[in-house]
Structure 1
Amino acid sequence: MSTPELDFETRQIHAGARLDSDFGARMTPVYQSAGFVFDSFADGEARFSGESDRGAYARTDNPTNASVARRLADLDGGAGALLTASGTAAIALTLSALASTGDHVLATASLYEGTKTLFARSLSRQGIEVELIPADSPDDVWRRAFRPTTRAVFTETIPNPKNDVVDLARVAAFAHEHGVPLVVDNTVATPYLCRPIEHGADIVIHSTSKWLSGHGAVLGGVVIDSGTFDWQGSASRFPQIALPNDHGVPSFVERYGQFAFLTYLRTVMALDYGPTLPATSAFLLLQGIETLSLRMDRHVSNALEIAQWLEHQEQVATVDYPGLVASPYYARAQKYLPRGQGAVVTFEFAGGRPAAEVFIDSLRLISRMTHLGDVRTLAIHTASTIHGHLTDAERLSRGITQGTVRLSVGLESVRDLRRDLEQAFAAVEAAGFARPVAAV
């Protein structure tokens, strides 16, 4: 179903859907099968050669997954998409497709810590160097950072957990000036709040485990290809996509045009590494996507009210939320995120770790756990968990102190959330942290 004339709220329900040909099921069926029967000798050959759009094996071609991928590509404004087993798998697959041993990737410095760990540990062992650069560095700093071996620029729309909104159009301009694609992790924003392709991104990634599925029930990831990057114009950097292979087979660009990168990702990278999303997970993800706009409106309104409340608590030293007028990213957020600035609110207790510990242990309604995008509100002390493997100096360089707490604001009554926060803050005050003191 082609839906360019329809609004987002309609497309999230209908885009990419195909009625079941056997029974006419309105819901996309779960194709719980490892493989699919060929109609004939010729059909099997066509499926393996890519001449047929019918799947050969569920590692990369499950029809349930394909339907969900079509919908996500539509919502983000891409040409096509590939589902993966997790958001981390989506990032690893994409950068491994673009870069090889000895190559270089530029990434903005403020990123989810798990992504940085992937860069520093596994990609480094593959011989891919990922260099971190502050997103708002001067133009000359950005330009000097590119090398002949640079193969991509990577960033997040709303970096987790500090919410320092990235100027996507500016970063895209640097990437394209040097002939490499911009890869954007859009997990925190979702396509409802921001569509990075409209601002110059070439490839968009989501951890679908978060707001897209929305209920904390399944893991998943997706890679969305804009279909607009000039792979042929950068053939020397990406011979695996733009040049014929050693057996004389025409390039992916020659065979698949705007789907060149996505086809390479699916038929080479995903086929070789196998980060397959189960069809049952894709089905549950689809149910979440259909209510995305409704949930995000509530998520962001709750998050803004909670952030504004936190601003006025004397135990709180700082609040990071780009929807606050006091945020240094407020103006940029209005440009890139006019519908809302996400549902992650990060704040710092002036009383440091002891105050944060009392707060976390006093919560009754809010869940103590690591995750984002759940219908439930979640809280975590990042210095002892997500950033626990870092030194104090490394944590401080990321803006993380012993008093930092991250909230993923859910869909509960905001009054009930306030009550839970108020009683937890009262416990902090009762423990002797009523007024700001030197951070511990």
Structure 2
Amino acid sequence: MTTQEQAHERHAPDCGAAAPERVLARRTLPHADLLLTADDPVAAALDHVASTALTEDTGGRVGLELELHLVDLARPSRRPIWGEVRHLVDGLDPMPMGSSVTIEPGGQVELSTPPGDDAVLAIAALGLDRESLRTQLAEAGFGAAPIGTDPARPSRRINPAPRYSAMERHFDALGCAGAGKQMMTSTAALQVNLDAGPAAEWSCRLAHLRALVPVLVAASSTSPWLAGETSGWHSMRQGVWDGIDHGRSDPFPAGPPAQAWAAYALDAPLMLLLDDGVLRGVTERVSFRQWLEGTAPFDRRPVVADLDYHLTTLFPPVRPRGYLEVRCLDALPDRWWPAVAAMTATLVDDPIAADAARELCEPVAEQWEVAARDGLADERVRRAVLGCVEVAVRRGPTELSTELEALHALFDSGSSPADELRRRVEQVGPLAVLREEAGA
């Protein structure tokens, strides 16, 4: 999947003298016993992950995913129970543009669009499906709030899926139960999925996305409150991610991206294990590499299916899955998410915008925690965000110029979506804001 404006001529952005990454051949997936039969199972696993990390393409497509907190409009303080949520989602008519609707651990609903040929089409598709979801939920007395955290209700898992039960056991055992539960049940994201692009650009493209993360975190935050409390962080959603295991949530290291991702994946802690058809949470801190080397406390050796599933439990801000998942954005209200999605796509896929953003982001390239904690209160972050929004206004799709200009006006005034929500919470309380956003 991926992005950008049809009118822009595509060429490789200026990456300085960095050598392009070697093009990895796309092979038929190995047989399930590859890791068992290989002379060097660690090398076989690294090769498998690297060879499937990125898919070469010409770029340009965009896919969007938007999570929303489900709210009973008559009793917004009550988190809907599983049977209600399942009944609601099962009873939905198909989304007009083909988005899938899934249910997250805390009852959040997620809309996932098919990839669109560019950002304009992807945003239009999500907008139509979002409106259909809103209308259908309202008929049943429910709403859905697209904001980064549930500002009012206590964190609680309602989805009984074995994956989520096992995840909860893992987080409990490894000492991050609170952050793990909050991440699963009280956060919501806007995810922008982009094509990997030409192989010669992969290293530059991933390095640029990594440097862009602090700006995207600060610009997209809509999570100044969580579960009736505020920590003072600009993005409490990112504060929650900072509280889980850094081995699965930190950015993967710089370097040739496919190989860097493969090394990160093998060194990341195992979360879930399938034993005799039963998914269980791993309660020891053990890496996939240790399992391959035979030093993990398990009764069997791993196969490729174990490795592929392990990859789905890793949550860096940008994750390669053939295409690129930009995962660091808070979900935003409907008045803001189209502009933030368009900005993200523009700053990555438009070569002129990408070159400008690269220079703007350099002073804060590794400062995602500063961006999450302080937001625009940090002068370096403020300059980078405002500069990148200005670039998006100039280079973004003309069809979304109104939305982009409104976002620029908000930041230019010294405010942000997070500041806007914080002021409203201080005026009417977190529960009122949750209901307002769910019924908007």
TM-score, normalised on structure 1? 0.30
Larger relative contact order, structure 1 or 2 (CA cutoff 8 Å, min sep 6):
2
Task: State which structure, 1 or 2, has the greater radius of gyration over its C-alpha atoms.
Answer: 1
TM-score, normalised on structure 2? 0.30
Give the structure with the larger helix fraction: 2
